[in-house]
Amino acid sequence: MKTRPIKDWLFFAFIALGIACSLILPLTIMTYLDYAESGYGLEAEVDGYTIGSNDNVQLMLELTNPGKLKIQITGIQWNLAGSDEWFTGSIPGEIYDIEGGSSEDIIFIFSIPNQAVSDSLLSGQVEYELQIEIYIPYRDAYTTFIQSGSAGVV
């Protein structure tokens, strides 16, 4: 049996794989470092908010964890653009787990004593900024996820 053609094909496959991996490796490192800095691929989307009694704002967040690592939410803060005031939200059960590859709707409750902020919320579309403090048990990492966007009153 002639092994030369087989060896040639294996060799070219190796070279092709090497070129492909030279592209994948830097991309992987960049993505990984970016994830490590900004919350392991966590995605947050404001589904809506309602203003209840006693100036309580209920913020409905859809949190998506695309990776396979479990993410724990240890704290959440919210502010409206134009004001430097940060409102700390209460987390159901103090620590909230988001399992790997899952997408969940969670309601966080913020109490906003400032009347001006409540008025601007009621007036319609507002710009906001979210800071979610997360802990990754498997990587032993504490990091903060920051997202800004805009939402209207539901």
Partner 1 sequence: MREQSDCIRNFETSSKLHMCEQSSHIRKLEGIERFGMPDIQDEATEEKLKEMGDTWSIQDEQIESLDPLKYSSWPWLILKGVFGVIILTTIYLIYNLVEIPWTIGENFYGMWVFAGIPFFVAFVLGMTFESGVKALAFALTVGMISLVLLVILLHLPYNMELFDSSGGGQSTYLWWYILLSFINLISLVPVGAVLASSTNVFE
Which residues make up the interface to partner 1 (CB under 8 A)?
Answer: 2-4, 7, 10-11, 13-15, 17-18, 21-22, 24-25, 28-29, 31-33, 35-37, 40-41, 66-69, 100, 137-143
Nearest distance, CB of residue 44 and partner 1, angstroms: 16
Concatenating the DSSP letter of every residue in 17-67 gives HHHHHHHHHHHHHHHHHHHHHHTTT-EEEEEEEEE-GGGEEEEEEEEEE-S
Nearest distance, CB of residue 151 and partner 1, angstroms: 27
Of 14 and 86, the one with the shorter C-beta distance to partner 1 is 14
Of 22 and 54, the one with the shorter C-beta distance to partner 1 is 22
Of 41 and 48, the one with the shorter C-beta distance to partner 1 is 41
Residue 38: burial class (beta carbons within 10 Å; 0-12, 13-18, 19+): middle
Of 109 and 139, the one with the shorter C-beta distance to partner 1 is 139
The neighbour count for residue 19, using CB atoms within 10 Å, is 10
